[in-house]
Amino acid sequence: MTVDTPSPAPRSRNRRILMTAGGLLLLGLLVTAYWHWAAGQVMAGLENWRQQQIARGFVVNFGEVDLTGYPFALDLSLSSPEVSAPDGRYWQGPAVTGNAALWDPFTINADISGTHRFGGFHYGGEFRGLAQQASLQAHLDWDGTLNHAVTSVADMQLLYQDAQLLQIGTLDAVLGPLRPADGEQLQELDFDGSAHSILLPEDGDTPLGNFVESLSLKATLRGPLPAQKARQALPIWRDAGGEAIVHSADVAWGPLNLHAKGGAKLDAFLRPEGQFGTRISGLSEVINRLVERGQIKPAQAGMLSFALLSLGGGDARNIALPISMKDGLLSAGPVPIASLKPVL
């Protein structure tokens, strides 16, 4: 005997349909509310940074700002970003497109490929950086303040007045975080950057050649960053105890390899002063190239080689050389080698 299973009551089936529809509606409302909250955080962070720069005397414009991507993404575009400093220096960038993950609106990834223009320097003219591939990752704090930024550039040309200065294979840099002053501890801003495969103009007259394998710098700028023009800001920075701390600086250029670390301040005349410890290799090869090019005589090369042996403790291939800047003089060990002028 077959027993038929009764089908669900129509009322129960309708209730499930209504509950499913209500759940989907609630989910849609939550996604919509969260997207608008996240979009607001991105826009607030952008505007907070702009207002911070305006408070320091800068002029900041983004052009047309557009934020799209609802409901699953945050896509940002700036049509014509530009920044002008109080002393007249300026940067003008290409149109920028960026995005942030919906679950992390405080990390913005932007494509900044294109032409970047820099100008307003005391010697006049305009620099142009042509970046085939360039990206910027900005990390914001919960209040919208910029914590740090990471930049990566590939295949870049730098021109001045339409004349090519150099080509850069890759350039990577991290700026920040900015640590505010706390009691007697001064404000600090970190920088960590490196460039590789740098090609200089072929007509450059240097025994090192026109190819730089790599440059790198890891440093901390300590002290306040005043909003005034550089001529007024630098004395304020100096008097507040401002200092540039170089944790490491490395150069690999032709036969020359250099590593340095130390720190520098500004003296009463705005001349750099400080001390660096350096380790240098390849100077013997540089001296040989100078002789081959006729830029120094063999007798001068012999005296230089003897000096290198003395500085290197009998090994001219690897020299530990202290560099000092004081009272307007740049000295290598105890020997003054050049005069120093004010930075402005």
Which has the closest alpha carbon to 175: 152, 199, 196?
152
Q: What percentage of the chain reaches a pLDDT higher than 90?
A: 41
What are the tokens at 84? 């002008």
Residue 80 above 80 pLDDT? yes
Q: What pLDDT is attached to residue 296?
A: 76
Q: Is the pTM of this model over 0.85?
A: no
Query: 45-73 as b/e, with b when 16 or more CB fall inside 10 Å?
Result: bbebbbeebeeeebebebeeeebeeeeee
Residue 178 above 80 pLDDT? yes
Q: How confident is the model at residue 8 (pLDDT cuts 50, 70, 90)?
A: low
What are the tokens at 76? 């940002």
Q: What percentage of the chain reaches a pLDDT higher than 70?
A: 88
Q: What pLDDT is attached to residue 313?
A: 61
Q: Please say whether the dihedral angle defined by the alpha carbons of residues 8, 10, 15 and 20, taken in this order, is positive or negative.
A: positive
Could you report the per-residue pLDDT of 228-258, keeping only the tens digit for each?
677 788 899 999 999 999 999 999 998 889 9
3-state SS class at 162: coil
Which range in 26-40, 44-58, 181-195 is most confidently predicted, on average pLDDT? 181-195
Give the separation between CA 329 and CA 244, rounded to whole angstroms: 18
Mean pLDDT of the chain: 85
Residue that wins the pLDDT comparison between 333 and 204? 333
